[in-house]
Structure 1
């Protein structure tokens, strides 16, 4: 158990002492004067409410068994960029009967679970890129977006116009922005795609700023994925290439170091159950009782005054 007072502790102690002393003096005077008990009890009622409010202001917290937990420090939270191929190639069902995009969505969920306190950005692409989710730490809202990722509607030449490096320019500027905003944070890039095996266009190159990518992986989906293109993307980003020829769990496929959580500063914070509301509720009840008694007395006095006037 610990205290988190909303006012200086000495001030709260002084207030409590004054209230207790006032109650003791009132009891002594009542015994000496022999006044009615109703006035005494009402005074004690208000004094007790005041003491309960002082107790509420001290914010008593009952600590859990685990008194500290590890949280990533704000400016050190990693930035993770998810570059997702949304071309018709990702609709092919050659991963144990499942579509490539279905397995890719499962892998995205694994990555979000592995990094629960980081910033994510999602860049989709086919023949052109799109920023589907700007860099944000709101993973709760990100999950529904990932669940709805599907390949773009295909046309007669969509697959042949897909470019495996279409997201290169957008990713470069997003990396520059992330490094400027969070210079102390590490940056991971995960590329999920098939390598545009049917494309008639030469793939554009990824040119991230020097030292801007600290880890990640290129995940290649499908039995007919263009591994040469995907390995080229991995070399340009400076991350390992991971083939995804089936629907096996992602954690079993990634090489060591591909998803190691970056070292971040941590802060130890106390966790527990707040109890300030209990005395606050008690004080509110006592004050409501006194308010009721005051209104009742006013009503009685008004009736007596009317009767005397008539």
Structure 2
């Protein structure tokens, strides 16, 4: 038997404790009267509700233990609209499709490491903290999407530096002896008026990695994104309103800027295309690989739904009683 509380226990226990105390007091107060029976049933409802809130279950196995103590890998991904440009691979796929494939391949090659995912467009967000759970990383990468087109405020290739600096500093303070590598995924396109800042301050905090570039000099069109991508979304391309009439906007890779980022970080730069391996991206990265358990965890069989049945029956009885009381009150008036 195990429990998976719907709320943290430090919150759940005091709330339930106060409610139980009040109901028990009412039972004692009306002892020997008809109301004592009513409050006893309410006490039973509260106990059932408490049991449901604890979500009891049986069986299930925990996933294999996460590997710790080895390499820390930070994936930094550009999710600005330009990463939706359809010039990746022979089939003209969006650049982000190449990013997803490369992150997956790197994670498999570096199995046993811990991975973190940071994305940036108008602002930077840590999508996933350090974890060695490859399934969690896979889920996070699968849902990577470009920014919502209407919210786009231009792109800057250095938008992740402040967050990445803070994350690396915290990691170094927690585990000073661990090696850390950073992989930067982007197209180098700088559309804001200001020049990007430098990544050089991060170089002492990392032990390797790479800058990976996506896109072509010819460029590609970018589908707009409304944040939903459902049957009601329109498949239209982002427009360039600097021309008359407006035309489909074209995004082109800027490898000069990407090479500059690589130089500042002290890592290599590599242009990426479909079908490429990742051996060159992990060359020279050495770390002690902990034992990694690949056993897949299974969810426990939850039992709380069984308790919901009598709870609902008691609630229906309570509602009927309340409806009768209200009707009688109106009759008196």
TM-score interval, smaller chain: 0.5 to 0.7
Is there any run of 5+ residues in structure 1 with no aligned partner, and where? 1-70, 270-310
Could you tell me how far apart the structure 2 residues matched to 1:195 and 1:120 are? 23
Specify the alignment match of 2:270 in structure 1: 242
Could you tell me how far apart the structure 1 residues matched to 2:119 and 2:291 are? 37
CA RMSD of aligned residues (A): 2.5
Structure showing the higher helix proportion among its residues: 1
Answering whether residue 264 of structure 2 is matched by residue 264 of structure 1, we say no
In the TM superposition, what whole-angstrom CA distance separates every residue of 1:256-309 from its partner, at most 9, and x where no partner exists?
xx313643346789xxxxxxxxxxxxxxxxxxxxxxxxxxxxxxxxxxxxxxxx
Cα distance change of structure 1 residues 201 and 268 upon mapping to structure 2, 3 Å threshold: closer
Answering whether residue 53 of structure 2 is matched by residue 74 of structure 1, we say no
In the TM superposition, residue 155 of structure 1 has moved relative to its aligned partner by 2.7
Answering whether residue 111 of structure 2 is matched by residue 116 of structure 1, we say yes
Could you tell me how far apart the structure 1 residues matched to 2:160 and 2:116 are? 13
Aligned length: 191
Specify the alignment match of 2:120 in structure 1: 125
* Secondary structure of the structure 1 residue equivalent to 2:115: strand
Answering whether residue 194 of structure 2 is matched by residue 201 of structure 1, we say yes
Q: Is the 8 A contact 2:67 2:291 kept in 1?
A: no
Is there any run of 5+ residues in structure 2 with no aligned partner, and where? 1-64, 217-251, 293-333
Could you tell me how far apart the structure 1 residues matched to 2:67 and 2:145 are? 34
Answering whether residue 225 of structure 2 is matched by residue 225 of structure 1, we say no
TM (normalized to structure 1)? 0.56
Could you tell me how far apart the structure 1 residues matched to 2:78 and 2:143 are? 14
Cα distance change of structure 1 residues 226 and 182 upon mapping to structure 2, 3 Å threshold: same
Q: Is the 8 A contact 1:128 1:163 kept in 2?
A: no
TM (normalized to structure 2)? 0.53
Name which one, 1 or 2, has greater alpha-carbon Rg.
1
Specify the alignment match of 1:90 in structure 2: 83
* Secondary structure of the structure 2 residue equivalent to 1:196: coil
Specify the alignment match of 1:170 in structure 2: 163
Cα distance change of structure 1 residues 177 and 225 upon mapping to structure 2, 3 Å threshold: same
